[in-house]
Amino acid sequence: LFPDAQYVHLVRDAYDVVASFRDRWGYRSALRVARGDWARYVRAGRDFGQGLPAGRYHELRYEALVDSPEPALRSLFEFLGEAWDPVVLRFQDAPHDATERYTRFTAERRAAGGGDGAVYTSRVGAGRRELDPVLRAVVRKGAGQLLRELGYRP
């Protein structure tokens, strides 16, 4: 359908994904994700990307966007063949077509995170801080190997 499409695969630490699922959809959903969904979906995305011609797949870490947004975004722009514009680092200051609901939601999230960035720093590491011992053990069992492969602490 789109023979020249470029794919960006955003990867986030399994512990944080599980914490987000627990908070949004409940404990049973978090268990399902911890047990294997996170690893299965991340691996499927990576396998898909490895099967593409060079220059068509880019893996981006959520944590890199938080820790070092400019290098992470510059790399993404280069991959996409787009000119770099530093205004992307100040998304909240630029005119855009965000709806009122989205604007309100992001303002609340930024306030809760104690910062003004559009990437929510408050949730990085939340899973390792907040998950109970059972969920942590299930994440280690279901995602530990892939976490290691990706350079995360299992």
In a domain, 2, yes or no: no
- Two structure tokens written together for 46: 């990576």
CATH number at residue 36: 3.40.50.300
- Two structure tokens written together for 68: 């070092």
pLDDT digits (tens, 9 = 90+) for 84-138: 999 888 877 776 666 666 667 667 766 665 555 556 677 899 999 999 999 999 9
In a domain, 154, yes or no: no
In a domain, 28, yes or no: yes
Contact status, residue 22 vs residue 31, Cβ threshold 8 Å:
no
**pTM of the predicted protein model:** 0.83
C-alpha dihedral sign at 35, 25, 108, 97:
positive
Measuring CA to CA, how many Å separate 54 from each of 1, 24, 78, 79? 18, 37, 14, 11
In a domain, 108, yes or no: yes
Tell me which residue range forms the domain holding 29. Answer: 7-149
In a domain, 16, yes or no: yes
| Number of domains the chain is built from | 1
In a domain, 22, yes or no: yes
User: Looking at 24-38, 45-59, 120-134, which range is the least confident one?
Assistant: 120-134
In a domain, 21, yes or no: yes
